[in-house]
Structure 1
Amino acid sequence: MKLRQKPIVIVGAGFAGMTFALTLKKLNPSLPILVVDSKTNFIFKPLMYEVLSKEIRSWEATPKFANIFSDASITFLKNCLTKIDFKENILEFSDDLKLGYQYLVICTGSVPNSFSIKGVDENCYFFNDFHDLNKLNSFLKKSQETAFNRKLFIIGGGPSGIELACKIKDIFKEQFEINLIEKSNEILNKNKIFNREQAEKALEKRQINILLNSTVKEVSETKIIISSEVGITSLDKDIVIYTAGVKPNLSYLETDQITKKFGRILVNNNFQIENYKNCFAIGDISVVEGMEDLPITAQVAMQEGNHLANNLELSIQGKDTLPFEFKDNGEMISLGIGEASISGLGVTFSGKLAFEARRLIYASKLPDITESLKSASSWIFQKKSFLKKFLKKDNSN
């Protein structure tokens, strides 16, 4: 009697898990692969800002997992992981379901980290998924019916805070007085210098206030309390959006179950979890030993997913695996409606052309090829002038 092979189970279908599953299935179509996620749709987070500004439609950034994985002959299960028994190779889920696995890849992503700042969880809006987006958008629209210059604060001067500030200003004009709060001495302090300079220009152009070297101490229903070089300041606020940080989503792990570093799962250069050679962690929840400075980005997550898929196939074939090497392909940032900045691989440019290039690059990276083509074509038909420009250039050569 032929024994049924236990599946390769992937928990978490974000950029890391999605890339790993689809790449491995292409490399070895006969492998039984099961993907588990608590949500029904993939969230292409870099495009959430364009959904807010209606530059793209929501379906373009949220393809359904069922469609993505069924097309690739991969099994998808909507469920929530509650416990891992690493010794017995058993997963437990919220509905009491138990699953065994041959290999396990966990990549459950990040959740907002409020750093225990009083009032943040209760009195701030977030921008981590489409529930957050819809909740924020509902408030902003209702505010159009009230007085102008409502006081809006964004906590965090990283990419998310910058992109939100510029989009909201372009959408709502003078409806809000926007204040960006950053605890360090500059915005985008972990990003490319060119993009930082372009972001500073974009904020200045839109008259968005930047409060540097400022730390939020508390957010109440009506006030935001900030500590800075001038002391403690209590300011009136109408809305506060929190974008200042994330933490790994590891609620299913028991205390001291595995080795961690910086609150994330410590893995070796093959993404293996210490003492459990058939278990791997990739994406936001993991930190590679010796590569602790890798940024928590979609680019890193996708490269990790692709590399692990190739390595696992090599291992299954009895071949030596290869160490992971991150390739920095640069970064892109949206700077308002129809504008962006791109820096990477020796190329830097900004403005409308950068926005169009960014949009097309992201469209090509959507995981469901059908939705990707739909997204790209829907955008291209709106950008005929962009195509004509390049066709004219090609014909002149």
Structure 2
Amino acid sequence: MNNITNPTVIVGGGFVGLFTALHLSHRHYSEPIILIDSQDRFVFKPLLYEHLTGEMQNEQVLPRYEKLLEGSKVTFIQDKVTKIDLKQRRLELASGLHYDYRHLVLGVGSTQGYLGTEGAEENAFAFRTQEDTIALEKHLRECLQQASQAESAQREALLTIAIVGAGPSGVEIAATLADLLPQWYEKLGGDFSNIRIVLVNHGQEILKGDVNSHLRDTALKALKDKAIPVELVLGAKVTKVGRDRLEYQLENEEATKTISTQTVVWTAGTANNPLLKTLSIADKNRDRHGLPMVTDTLQLPNYPEVFAAGDCAVVLDRSYPPVAQIAYQEGKTIAKNLMALSQNKELHPVNASMRGTLMKLGIRNGVANIFDKVKVKGRAGDSIRSLTYLEMLPTPIHNFNATTEWLSDEIFHDHHHYHQPTKLGQPKSNKRFAGLASIAAGAIAAVALVGGTAAVWHIAHSGNQPQATQKQLTK
């Protein structure tokens, strides 16, 4: 390839990569665009809980890139990039192919980290991908089936689930399983009160240092109010994860404590994508964790043709949380700056900001903190969260299909598919009417959060003043 025809290559089809590609396509970017990812589907991580519970279908949460990019000028290649030569401007792929690029965008994200804990990677379940979700569901169903016919000692371990890490992911999966597992076990004839869910955290507070920390009290109440209250073990350092146990030490105690369990879900910590190690970047241009540092225009120092953002880069003199809404805004900035380069115009610094947070706190239960001004909890909060995420998915056709399918399930099939076990003495209520009301409230709030997303995308696709939508993705 000569330099004139070399493409802009985007590595990683997450929030940064996919939305950079879509923005460029909608703005009629003049250079060829190639998007490379090892998977064939976009993983909408915030909705993996709905994928696990069956609240949403596979195509809603995990749409294929081929479908999302249909009609765009983006070429999608399913392959794994194994090496990047910054000086030669060349990518090497696992298939043996290589690509020379004119501009490069890195949006490879992070991987699950295990903090060097013995046995964690081998024996614990992560929850970041479609494969993780499928593996966890299969394992949990097998444990419940065995427990339904097991002796008491063995049954206790089969029905105990330990979750490591009380950040947002740990809290959300704990709350989700506390609602989901009783349903599954009751269908097998089991007594769901025998299920035990333990959330183990190194710090003394859940959500500490996270953008969701202001939702701590709401989350604690949700965990406590479950038919199976989630147990908290705080100030605990996990020292080992075995096939049938989790070992930990409490602060200021030398004795090792043990939780007998067949299921450990690990949500604590992240690790750098291994691809970043292949970059010939000076140590002074990496942070203390080894992540590349980029300028405020999201370019690598000494390599202005390379952009990076999201979980795989750190912006100099800025501190952005590693959440989807920030990654989306960074992707938009990269697209604008690539357009500027192609037109010999001035580049602009990134100016990302948080616009509220959303958390799942169980089946049909969530909290939406809208623009840090209004907090909506319960069924209405979950409806806002679901509708907001569905409306923010990458293309208008997918938005419409996913949203209408979800609404249909909620309105017409809700009472057939979901039964929430209740504690003894807890009154039952007419949840159907309340559910419809919360959906309506959620729709209004979601429209307010999105800010006319569908209309903007319609204009972009119709060719009238092409603009990439200002979506506001939250974690």
Provide the rounded CA distance (Å) in 2 between the counterparts of 1:303 and 1:253: 26
- Corresponding residue SS for 1:279: strand
Alignment pair present for 1:213 and 2:232: no
Q: Residue in 2 aligned with 1:236?
A: 260
Q: Is the 8 A contact 1:81 1:252 kept in 2?
A: no
- Corresponding residue SS for 2:146: coil
Q: Which runs of 5+ in 2 are unaligned?
A: 148-154, 183-191, 412-435, 445-475
Provide the rounded CA distance (Å) in 2 between the counterparts of 1:255 and 1:4: 24
* Partner of residue 168 from structure 2, selected from 141, 159, 163: 159
- Corresponding residue SS for 2:400: helix
The alignment yields a C-alpha RMSD, in angstroms, of 2.0
- Corresponding residue SS for 2:160: strand
Alignment pair present for 1:277 and 2:304: yes
Provide the rounded CA distance (Å) in 2 between the counterparts of 1:315 and 1:215: 49
Q: Residue in 2 aligned with 1:224?
A: 246
Q: State how 1:1-397 maps to structure 2 within 5 Å.
A: 5-147=5-147, 149=156, 150-173=159-182, 174=192, 176-189=195-208, 190-206=210-226, 207-229=229-251, 230-231=253-254, 232-251=256-275, 253-254=277-278, 257-258=281-282, 259-261=285-287, 262-291=289-318, 293-345=319-371, 346-384=373-411, 385-386=436-437
Higher helix share: 2
Provide the rounded CA distance (Å) in 2 between the counterparts of 1:186 and 1:305: 33
Amino acid at match of 2:58: S
Provide the rounded CA distance (Å) in 1 between the counterparts of 2:369 and 2:144: 35
- Corresponding residue SS for 1:146: helix
Q: Which runs of 5+ in 1 are unaligned?
A: none
- Using the TM superposition, give the Cα deviation of residue 184 of structure 1 relative to its aligned residue in structure 2, in angstroms: 1.0
Relative to structure 1, the CA distance from residue 256 to residue 5 in structure 2 (aligned partners, 3 Å threshold; closer, same or farther) is closer
Q: Is the 8 A contact 1:20 1:309 kept in 2?
A: yes
Provide the rounded CA distance (Å) in 1 between the counterparts of 2:344 and 2:297: 15
- Using the TM superposition, give the Cα deviation of residue 256 of structure 1 relative to its aligned residue in structure 2, in angstroms: 5.2
Amino acid at match of 2:321: P
Q: Is the 8 A contact 1:25 1:31 kept in 2?
A: no
Higher strand share: 1
TM-score after normalising by structure 2: 0.78
Q: Aligned residues, how many?
A: 390
- Corresponding residue SS for 1:142: helix
- Using the TM superposition, give the Cα deviation of residue 277 of structure 1 relative to its aligned residue in structure 2, in angstroms: 0.8
Name whichever of 263-272 and 65-74 sits farther off: 65-74
Relative to structure 1, the CA distance from residue 5 to residue 356 in structure 2 (aligned partners, 3 Å threshold; closer, same or farther) is same
- Using the TM superposition, give the Cα deviation of residue 151 of structure 1 relative to its aligned residue in structure 2, in angstroms: 1.5
Instruction: Give aligned-pair identity as a percent.
Output: 29
Provide the rounded CA distance (Å) in 2 between the counterparts of 1:3 and 1:85: 16
Relative to structure 1, the CA distance from residue 48 to residue 70 in structure 2 (aligned partners, 3 Å threshold; closer, same or farther) is same
Amino acid at match of 2:323: T
Amino acid at match of 2:215: N
Residues 45-90 of structure 1, C-alpha deviations (whole Å, 9 max, x = no match): 1000011111111111111111222321211111111111111111
Residues 162-198 of structure 1, C-alpha deviations (whole Å, 9 max, x = no match): 1111111101122630000111111111133442111
Q: Is the 8 A contact 2:329 2:352 kept in 1?
A: yes
Provide the rounded CA distance (Å) in 1 between the counterparts of 2:360 and 2:438: 21
Name whichever of 363-372 and 102-111 sits farther off: 363-372
Relative to structure 1, the CA distance from residue 388 to residue 16 in structure 2 (aligned partners, 3 Å threshold; closer, same or farther) is closer
Q: Pick 1 or 2: higher relative contact order, CA cutoff 8 A, min separation 6.
A: 1
Q: Is the 8 A contact 1:192 1:331 kept in 2?
A: yes
Q: Is the 8 A contact 1:177 1:208 kept in 2?
A: yes
